[in-house]
Amino acid sequence: MYKYFKYLKKQVNYQKNQVKNLHFFSLSCIISLPFILFKQKQKMGRLAEKIDKRRKNYHAFREDVDSYFTARIIVSDMQDWERMIAFLNPNQAMAYGITVHSKVSIIRLDWEEIVADVAFSNRVTIWTIAASAELVKRYKINNLEMVGVCLTEWASITTNAIRKKMKWEPITYEETYSIIKDISENKLDETMMTYYVASSYFYPTSDEETYQTAKAMAECGSMFKYPKWEIIADKHCIGWVPGNETTMALIPLIASLWIKIPKNFSKSITSPAATWECVNVLMNINFDKEGIEELVKKVNCCLVRGWGLDLAPADDKLIKVQYPLSMQSKAKVVSSIMAKKYAMWVTHSLIDIPVWPTAKVTSMEEAKDWKQRFEIVGKKLWMKMSVQITQANEVIWNWVWAVLQVREVLRILQQHPDRPKDLGDKIIFLGGKLIENIWLVTGKSAMNLARHQLETGAAWNKMKEIIAAQWGNPDIDSESLELWKFTYDVVAEKAWKITWMDLHDVNAVCRRLGCPIIDQAWMYIYKKTWSSVNKGDVIATLYAQDEINLNAWIKAIKEKNPFQISSDTLSNVANKWWKILKTLSKVGQMNVEDLILRKNKEEEKKEKPKKDITPKKTKKWETTK
């Protein structure tokens, strides 16, 4: 009986505790319910805002059902190597207002929008589209994936901004950003991009707009981040001078001083061969963002291409528009260069501006304008700029071709007895200026430090590390590079003196043969500016891979001979510049600006009339003190 009552008491206590817990749980639910409902309302509100925002930006799935159609993607192996193309059935595409000149938006189930160029194919059935290999690789598209397809629409603010640019009206940063964003997302077609690029030729672009364009270009792509206290150096040449491959030697030179200097580059526009073409001879240049960060961490630098990195992606598309005419406006060049430096988190930058009447920059006044633009935009982007104006009176050294330019760079790094002295001096000069800009040492000590890194082999050892890290052969020798066997000698028809070398014609001849896209033609120049030539002397030798390319070379060189002088005016200008540069070589410096300023001061002193120190005749009634 006692045990029964004890058991009964336990049951009663248990029931009481259950009731207590139930009351406590109910009370806590009542107290926390408003808070839970409030949080849930906030969450649903944010989700609704996100959906509304996507629907506003989502032009395809509008209430008008006829504006888009659903289709399944067929993965194909067709390649264009540059563009991302969607192949559509022509009948269905034209029914929805899509032409071969249009762009289509492909909307995935997760609301991701992919913009692609259009191509028609009768092999593609209705309610399906075929994706090119580039499109599949970049966006990881699955076979038979269901998507929505519609005609791409760009923002109205973009059209109005380009219209204002064509009328020389100022545009705001929001309008600039809208243009660059639509270009980056592949929404603007080539016609609209051409109007945008051409507007910079018709009317001058302000420094503020150049800065805004550079900033928008960088922010519309991926950007690198480094600690704020870390120095990130960079060197860039605005191009046009054949054989002027200083970047490839400067990167390992600076990196050997434990300074981070990640270098990315674009394909050459105005030169037969630029850094892209030269570096590609020795090593792999295709790396993604993670690969670049690993290279910089491992060897303090990298030499990689900018295409495919999503680094200022609008710039790559604008370069394609500018390539056919080989023309770039000053504002577009500055914004393009500075955008990529801003995206790479550069803190200290060196810009090389070659100047000569037949170079990209033709006069000192123009060079000073370039320098001022770079310094203003650089200051707004928080970079410490060092802009150097250098001579460009002729082809640097003797070679015009990627492989030969690489050989000369390797000779300088390996301190070969036959290394080009003029190119080596320019590398030491620019290296000293970049070292001085970083404040390691200043003055002559900076030049001596750059020379020391070359002569002791420190720069070459760093270059071998870079080649190995980028999957190249670090044991390569400068004399082991293969050259073509088919040759043709350009012979002087009479005795004369070369007072002028037209860099425009040198580039034009090389571009006629497809440089820098193909590398089947190159030139070796024996005679340089102000060299005496006798009748029958070989001025230059042309090299080609086969006889067909050689004959094209010969035809091009006869149409545009860069060694001839067309008029006395050019000869006089050449004589004036030659005297300046002859004095420059005696001084042992490459900076033209300081020398010309000094020369102008000397000429001003000569022009000042001398004071008359003879005593004046006085009249008899006047007395002299």
Reported as a single tens digit per residue, the pLDDT across 333-358 is 899 899 999 999 999 999 999 987 77
Tell me, what's the pLDDT at 371?
94
Catalogue the E-assigned strands of 326-455. Answer: 348-355, 384-391, 399-400
**Confidence class for position 2, pLDDT limits 50, 70, 90:** low
Quick: pLDDT tens for 518-538.
555 667 788 777 777 888 888
Q: Which of 550, 554, 490 is nearest to 521 (CA)?
A: 550
**pLDDT greater than 70 at residue 255:** yes
**Confidence class for position 124, pLDDT limits 50, 70, 90:** very high
- Is 216 within 8 Å of 173 (Cβ atoms)? yes
The segment(s) of the chain belonging to CATH 3.40.1030.10 are: 218-473
Tell me, what's the pLDDT at 341?
94
Tell me, what's the pLDDT at 407?
87
The segment(s) of the chain belonging to CATH 2.40.40.20 are: 65-151
More confident residue, 528 or 225: 225
401 backbone dihedrals φ, ψ, rounded to 5°: 175, 150
Mean pLDDT for 202-224 is: 91
Q: Residue 373 has which token pair?
A: 């633009």
User: CA–CA separation, 3 vs 274, rounded Å?
Assistant: 100
Superfamily (CATH) of domain 482-564: Pyrimidine nucleoside phosphorylase-like, C-terminal domain (3.90.1170.30)
Q: Which of 338, 418, 419 is nearest to 382 (CA)?
A: 338
**pLDDT greater than 70 at residue 554:** yes
Tell me, what's the pLDDT at 601?
57
Tell me, what's the pLDDT at 605?
55
Tell me, what's the pLDDT at 294?
94
Tell me, what's the pLDDT at 277?
83
Distances (CA, A) of 552 to 232, 271, 508, 514: 45, 19, 13, 11
**Confidence class for position 625, pLDDT limits 50, 70, 90:** very low
**Confidence class for position 475, pLDDT limits 50, 70, 90:** very high
Q: Which of 307, 253, 249, 301 is nearest to 278 (CA)?
A: 249
**pLDDT greater than 50 at residue 377:** yes
Between 471-475, 497-501, 577-581, the lowest mean confidence (pLDDT) is in 577-581
β-bridge mates for residue 236, sequence order: 351
Tell me, what's the pLDDT at 514?
59
Between 181-190, 568-577, 615-624, the lowest mean confidence (pLDDT) is in 615-624
User: CA–CA separation, 514 vs 393, rounded Å?
Assistant: 24
Angle among Cα 611, 612, 615 to the nearest 5 degrees reads 140
65-151: CATH architecture: Beta Barrel (2.40)
Rounded-to-5 percentages of helix, strand, coil across the chain: 50, 15, 35
218-473: CATH architecture: 3-Layer(aba) Sandwich (3.40)
Q: Residue 592 has which token pair?
A: 């033209």
Quick: pLDDT tens for 378-422.
999 999 999 999 887 666 666 676 787 888 899 999 999 988 888
**pLDDT greater than 60 at residue 286:** yes
Report which residue type is found at 262: P
**pLDDT greater than 60 at residue 582:** no
- Is 281 within 8 Å of 401 (Cβ atoms)? no
A 10 A CB-CB count for 301 gives 25
Percent over 70 (pLDDT), the chain: 73
User: CA–CA separation, 276 vs 286, rounded Å?
Assistant: 11
Distant-in-sequence, close-in-space partners of 386: CB < 8 Å, separation ≥ 6 = 348, 349, 350, 351, 433, 434, 436, 437
- Is 492 within 8 Å of 535 (Cβ atoms)? yes
Percent over 90 (pLDDT), the chain: 36
Mean pLDDT for 194-210 is: 87
Catalogue the E-assigned strands of 451-546. Answer: 486-491, 496-497, 521-525, 532-533, 538-544
Mean pLDDT for 543-562 is: 75
Quick: pLDDT tens for 127-182.
999 999 989 988 889 999 999 999 888 778 999 999 998 888 899 999 999 999 99
The pTM of the full predicted model, rounded to 2 decimals, is 0.73
**Confidence class for position 567, pLDDT limits 50, 70, 90:** very low
**DSSP label of 232:** B
Quick: pLDDT tens for 483-500.
767 788 888 877 777 776
More confident residue, 521 or 305: 305
The segment(s) of the chain belonging to CATH 3.90.1170.30 are: 482-564
User: CA–CA separation, 418 vs 161, rounded Å?
Assistant: 55
**pLDDT greater than 80 at residue 623:** no
Tell me, what's the pLDDT at 376?
96
